[in-house]
Structure 1
């Protein structure tokens, strides 16, 4: 199936590694002009080198509202439009809730909720003016079902799910589709503590009906579909990709 992504312009945040890098590279392979945003310039350049000349980079700190505010205008300045936004950047501070400094939750909300809202608002203005666009928010299964020791993260990702649904309802009449993907356990750098420990890995996999963790590339087809013109009637959806874990009783 052709996604129709050739020569579309897509912004991907948190694109220096993991799921963001996999999505950025795959979208470029589909012919999109990808703008990859993250804090790590060196890692971004490594991703761009795999993009067949179709990935450009922006250094941006999602915890800094001034930095976030500059991203969409830069995309427009480079390409004259923005067709897709994948809000992927996020942080997941872990710890016992009773012991956590409230600033830790504020940081999680800043990166995981405020930054995606600001980017969606800025991109949405242009999408509405140009007659349409697609926004994909990357949440988490912890935003669908809470997880102990990840209270701030679970709360922030739950907010992303509700934001997705509300924006989808508000912008559907403007031909702007807004959807959400909630990944489960993927083999990324963020999961190194799990993947590098035989005991932790075995315990993690035991909770997944599919019997394994997923490769980042397994998220790519769904993300490509949702950020493409090929899904014009799909909006407000929350797509869980977790090997059946959250579907268990």
Structure 2
């Protein structure tokens, strides 16, 4: 199936590793031009090597700096020629006992996981409307924003907020042909889960909670990211797609 992503301009944040890395490559494989945003210039340069040279364009950005985040839409237009899609993937997940947690942790988590989505989405929305061809925003949230997780209060709260922001923007921008959706991953085998995957006992305990009896590989997020980025998904908006091997379904 042709997803009609050839030549589309896409921003992917948090692209220097994990799900963002996989999403950037999946989109490039479909012919999109990707502005790959992250904190590690070295990792982004590795991402853009080989067959991805010329289709993936590295861009260093601190997602805590609102001015830098807001500038990404203009940078994308300058470097890619146009902006059609934003994948808001960047995020942090600090673990802490809430009774002992410094509220500065909550502030930073909300800044990166919610405010950066709002700032970039606003800048992108203005660009989409100015271009007159609509656009797509895909927010990578988490099943933690649906269920809540012990020791991840700040993260769970931020992802719940991102889910509601997704729905609100979808309702507000549908008339502009801007679709806003979210993907809520469950347990994916990424660098962020090294503590789990690197310990056989912990991994076995984690996998027992998943009906599919395994963790997902990062590349498994790519097909859905590409579909929601595609013109074929023009009537899909305000949806939250869970990819978790059935974990939330059994609750």
Shared fold per TM-score greater than 0.5: yes
| Backbone CA RMSD of aligned residues | 0.9
Alignment match, 1:5: 5
Asked if 1:154 is matched to 2:160, the reply is: no
Q: Secondary structure at the match of 2:248?
A: helix
Unaligned runs of 5+ in 1: none
Contact 1:29 1:52 in 2 (8 A): no
Asked if 1:219 is matched to 2:221, the reply is: yes
Alignment match, 2:86: 85
Instruction: Give CA-to-partner distance per residue, 1:105-159, whole Å, 9 cap, x none.
Output: 1010000000010000000111122220000000000011111100000000000
Q: CA deviation at 1:76?
A: 1.4
Match among 175, 178, 181 for residue 179 of structure 1: 181
Q: Distance in 2 between matches of 1:98 and 1:128?
A: 45
Alignment match, 1:38: 38
The alignment's TM-score, normalised by the length of structure 1, stands at: 0.98
Alignment match, 1:122: 123
Contact 1:5 1:228 in 2 (8 A): yes
The alignment's TM-score, normalised by the length of structure 2, stands at: 0.97
Instruction: Give CA-to-partner distance per residue, 1:55-91, whole Å, 9 cap, x none.
Output: 0011001011122122111111223321000000000
Alignment match, 2:71: 70
Asked if 1:210 is matched to 2:192, the reply is: no
Question: How many residue pairs end up in the alignment?
Answer: 249
Q: Secondary structure at the match of 1:178?
A: strand
Following TM superposition, the consecutive aligned residue runs of length 4 or more in structure 1 with deviations greater than 6 angstroms are none
Contact 1:36 1:58 in 2 (8 A): yes
Q: Secondary structure at the match of 2:233?
A: coil
Unaligned runs of 5+ in 2: none
Q: Secondary structure at the match of 1:156?
A: helix
Contact 2:73 2:123 in 1 (8 A): yes
Alignment match, 2:250: 248
Q: Distance in 2 between matches of 1:12 and 1:37?
A: 6
